[in-house]
Structure 1
Amino acid sequence: MAKSKSVSVEAAEPHAAGKRSRTSGVTLRDVARFAGVSSATVSRVMNNPTVVSDELRSRIMVAIDHLGWVPHAAARALATQRTGTIGAVFPTLANEHFASAIQALQESLEQAGYTLLLGCSEYDLDREYRQVRTMLERGVDAVVLVGEAHHQDLQPLLLQRQVPFVNTFVYRENSDALCVGVDNHQAFFDFTTYLVGLGHRRFAMLSQHTDTNDRAQARREGVRDALAEHGLGISAAHMVDGVWGARVGRQLFSKVMNTPQPPTVVICGNGSFAMGAMLEAMHQGYNIPGDLSVVGFDDFELMSELPIPITTVRVPSTEIGTRAAKIILAELAETGTARSAKLEAELIVRASSGAPPKASRKRT
């Protein structure tokens, strides 16, 4: 039976004989003929599989698999005004939490019949803008971004094209764009307040560069505002920044500790800084947390597996990816119906934090 059907398909397009493989010339009409249904039914199964019975859907999928038919994306886009693709640009793929969000985003979109196109900006706003423009040229139906700091022309471009977008890993109540994530300022305000409650008065912060990273800026301001509320401050020598990475974290840690009045607690603005700072503190012989508390953000898996597990603020990165997909899908289904989502950061207290030393710091 399979052989006879193969011959009939080739016979339907004799001009392609000898020039194409059997599968390259297969059309939607051929699939419909093989399954014994109309072309419209095959189209319905491809665009909205839940509207037909399981038996009918199974029969059509058998025909598709047997004939090796692949829907023509351009033709489908022309008919539906949708390409079935969603673009996403993340600052880096080396960050564990971005990777978790991307995986959850892709899985949720795939279940809805969409394909994810991914770009990496390396925290370069011009590069992010170019990547989004390229995705728009490819006809993406929506875009997922990180943070609110973008090239000045990016949001106007998306609004002009009427392409839905959502900012992830950030939440601001009065934002004029859809967003999903934690309130970074509030998370670090609360984190710092907790550390003040332990008795700390001399703080240092290792921050990521803030010129293209609004989340890092919000965390830095959260620390400052919490300290100000308690009549405290942080010296310029103890507020340092750099590109992300464990090696940079080690360097920044050494810089803030090599000051006349070193801090009793070092707050790290991301997970890689926290791990780097902890490794350098252990290397230099600090008793953690007896001499010094080291705390972080992100809660990378390794942070709980180090010899001294790191106290941190945990961000629900997987949920951010899932909720971002839901927001985009809701907006594609009906413009104006999607709503931003505020997720909660969680304080995870581990062995790296405690009360400040009562006497001058000693190294072991």
Structure 2
Amino acid sequence: MKPVGRNAQKPVSGEGRSVGIREVARRAGVSTATVSRALNNPDSVSATLRARIHATIDEIGYIPDASARALSSRKTRTIGAIVPTIDNAMFAQGLQALQTYLATKDYLLLLATNEYDLEVELKQARNLVSRGIDGLILRGDQRHDDLRRMLLTQKIPFVNVGVYEPEKPYPSIGVNNTAAGRRIARHLMELGHRRVAIVAALQRNNDRAQARVSGVLDVLAANDAVPPDRWHLQVNYKLDDARQAARVLLTGADRPTAVICGNDVIAYGVMLEAIKLGIEVPAQLSVVGFDDLEWSRHLRPSLTTIHMPTDEIWVRAGEYLVEHLSGGAPIMHREIDFSMVVRESTAPPPRDEAG
């Protein structure tokens, strides 16, 4: 063991301490105020100077102090998002697109889930606000009143994603879910189906699912095809639950010739159970969904569904908040177009069962 004494080697200069903004300024040949402006208000610094400062930051490994930046700018450059669950491919896909966009604007994404519970959502929103988020993205427009009041009081801008509701005073970016429900139902009507069942997502605190079912029922009613109560089921977004619902529908004394499912995952479960029961899709049973997940085009038969432009919806929500926070006046309501994708899972009903 080496003795420790007055001749012991001293630490290398700078060892044990982090690189600060003064070192960035010295190496870049600018003032600390210029470095601060380049980080907190990039447009106030020329592109050439900004590039030199960022090159210096990359070279020496400087990491800006987020809390200090927040004190100077009163912004944390952090966006919060609350979704019902991350156990859903559509939410995961949308959040990935959102995070990729926000990173290009030097914003951080903080995520929380609410499990379709408004009390939980309120608590999660309070947690996010306490951590200094600048803005908040919320799924749908079913809210706890206390949450709306808190966001107003704290002056936190927010946007409802996944819905388009221009008649409401809260910003919204998404598709017209009622119109999407009507479109998928019309497809089955045009094929000749009148014995149509619905396996919807749980409706509690889910205005998107409610709107889709409302649109479906509008068209079914107009064609004298409203399903009996036993053919209108609600399930979680899980394969097991969807298969159980299909078992109920397809093993009775009579059965539908088509099933409209609340999303693609539910449709997968219905199709799997139909195949297990020896029912041919689409020769004996047509199945449709919503969302157009990646697997939908790879199944055999491939799934007829409504394509939801998920990436665009979430990126537009991020753009809304970034523009709002920069002092702009973004469009308050933005409708994103859905599209009908007809694949192999739908066909006219069997001749002896046509309506």
TM-score under structure 1 length normalisation: 0.89
Q: Which residue of 1 aligns with 2:262?
A: 269
Q: Which residue of 1 aligns with 2:309?
A: 316
Distance 1:83 1:207 in 2: 40
Distance 1:337 1:94 in 2: 31
Say yes or no: does 1:250 pair with 2:278: no
Offset of 1:109 from its aligned partner? 1.2
Distance 1:107 1:66 in 2: 24
Offset of 1:75 from its aligned partner? 1.5
Cα deviations by residue, 1:310-361 (Å, 9 ceiling, x for unpaired): 1101100010111111111122123654321101111110111011111259
Distance 2:146 2:46 in 1: 47
Say yes or no: does 1:143 pair with 2:142: no
Q: Which residue of 2 aligns with 1:39?
A: 32
**Contact 2:239 / 2:265 at 8 angstroms: preserved in 1?**
yes
Say yes or no: does 1:356 pair with 2:338: no
Distance 1:80 1:116 in 2: 18
Distance 2:353 2:59 in 1: 77
Code of the aligned partner of 1:21: G
**Runs of 4+ with deviation above 6 angstroms:** none
Identify the match of residue 192 of structure 2 among 187, 199, 203. 199
Cα separation, partners in 2 of 1:243 and 1:94, compared to 1, 3 Å: same
Offset of 1:55 from its aligned partner? 4.1
**Contact 1:331 / 1:338 at 8 angstroms: preserved in 2?**
no
1:1-364 mapped onto 2 (5 Å cutoff): 7=13, 10=14, 21-23=16-18, 26-334=19-327, 337-359=330-352
Code of the aligned partner of 2:335: K
**Contact 2:86 / 2:113 at 8 angstroms: preserved in 1?**
yes
Distance 1:131 1:150 in 2: 13
Cα separation, partners in 2 of 1:55 and 1:173, compared to 1, 3 Å: closer
Distance 1:319 1:101 in 2: 8
Gaps of 5+ in 2: 1-11
Structure 1 window deviating more from structure 2 (198-207 vs 249-258): it is 249-258
Distance 2:45 2:266 in 1: 53
Distance 1:360 1:269 in 2: 24
Offset of 1:108 from its aligned partner? 1.4
Q: Which residue of 1 aligns with 2:8?
A: none
Distance 1:325 1:254 in 2: 41
Cα separation, partners in 2 of 1:138 and 1:220, compared to 1, 3 Å: same
Gaps of 5+ in 1: 1-5, 11-19
Code of the aligned partner of 2:287: V
Code of the aligned partner of 1:182: V
Q: Secondary structure at the match of 1:117?
A: strand
Identity %: 40
Q: How many equivalent residue pairs? A: 343
Distance 1:235 1:268 in 2: 16
Q: Which residue of 1 aligns with 2:3?
A: none
Distance 1:34 1:188 in 2: 60
Distance 2:198 2:276 in 1: 20
Distance 2:145 2:44 in 1: 43
Q: Which residue of 2 aligns with 1:15?
A: none
**Contact 1:330 / 1:338 at 8 angstroms: preserved in 2?**
no
Q: Secondary structure at the match of 2:145?
A: coil
Q: Secondary structure at the match of 1:65?
A: helix
Q: Secondary structure at the match of 1:153?
A: helix
Distance 1:235 1:152 in 2: 35
Offset of 1:73 from its aligned partner? 1.4
Structure 1 window deviating more from structure 2 (342-351 vs 88-97): it is 88-97
Distance 1:254 1:105 in 2: 38
**Contact 1:100 / 1:318 at 8 angstroms: preserved in 2?**
yes
Q: Secondary structure at the match of 1:359?
A: helix
Distance 1:360 1:61 in 2: 69
Aligned-residue Cα RMSD (Å) equals 1.8
Structure 1 window deviating more from structure 2 (49-58 vs 255-264): it is 49-58
Distance 2:110 2:224 in 1: 48
Structure 1 window deviating more from structure 2 (256-265 vs 198-207): it is 256-265
